[in-house]
């Protein structure tokens, strides 16, 4: 088994939190509750496979010398999208929960940034 990283534990924590929220509030709309469970499941899958995609990501970055700006743009886009969605619905509980289900994407981009920083520090 490959070594787990901090991001593995962050994915696990996000999955546990989303699952707990979906189970704690049974009166949520079924679409939102399903979305929370799907996002939690994706987070659990990312937790399991996080150590596996680390080496391919490093090889891809080294072979193409990919720009680091793309994950930053992705994080900025999703954070602005989440804030916009929550703000447009007057900060309701459902809007906050719907926006929090996108945190998995932000974590994936953050992990790519950390991996590329580690590659750059090796050179």
Res. 72: pLDDT tops 80: yes
Q: Check residues 61 and 91 and name the one with the higher pLDDT.
A: 91
DSSP character string of the chain: -PPP-HHHHHHHHHHHHHHHHHHH-TTS-HHHHHHHHHHHHHHHHHHHHTTTTHHHHHHHHHHHT--THHHHHHHHHHHHHHHHHHHHTTT-HHHHHHHHTTHHHHHHHHHHHHHHHHHHHH-
- Mean pLDDT of the region 3-20: 89
Q: Check residues 53 and 36 and name the one with the higher pLDDT.
A: 36
pLDDT band, very low/low/confident/very high, at 116 (cuts 50, 70, 90): confident
- As a whole number of angstroms, the distance between CA 103 and CA 100 comes to 5
- Mean pLDDT of the region 92-103: 87
Q: For residue 10, what pLDDT is reported?
A: 92
- Mean pLDDT of the region 40-53: 88
Q: For residue 69, what pLDDT is reported?
A: 81
pTM: 0.83
Q: For residue 23, what pLDDT is reported?
A: 92
Q: For residue 14, what pLDDT is reported?
A: 94
- What percent of the chain shows pLDDT beyond 90? 40
């Amino acid at each position: 088994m490959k070594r787990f990283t901090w991001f593995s534990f962050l994915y696990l924590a996000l999955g546990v939190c989303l699952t707990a929220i979906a189970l704690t509030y049974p009166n949520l709309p079924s679409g939102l509750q399903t979305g929370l469970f799907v996002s939690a499941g994706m987070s659990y899958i990312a937790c399991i496979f996080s150590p596996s995609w680390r080496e391919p990501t490093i090889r891809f970055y080294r072979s193409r010398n990919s720009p680091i700006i793309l994950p930053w743009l992705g994080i900025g886009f999703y954070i602005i999208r989440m804030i916009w969605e929550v703000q447009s619905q007057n900060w309701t509980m459902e809007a906050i929960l719907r926006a929090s289900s996108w945190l998995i994407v932000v974590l994936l981009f953050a992990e790519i940034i950390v991996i590329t920083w580690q590659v750059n520090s090796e050179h």
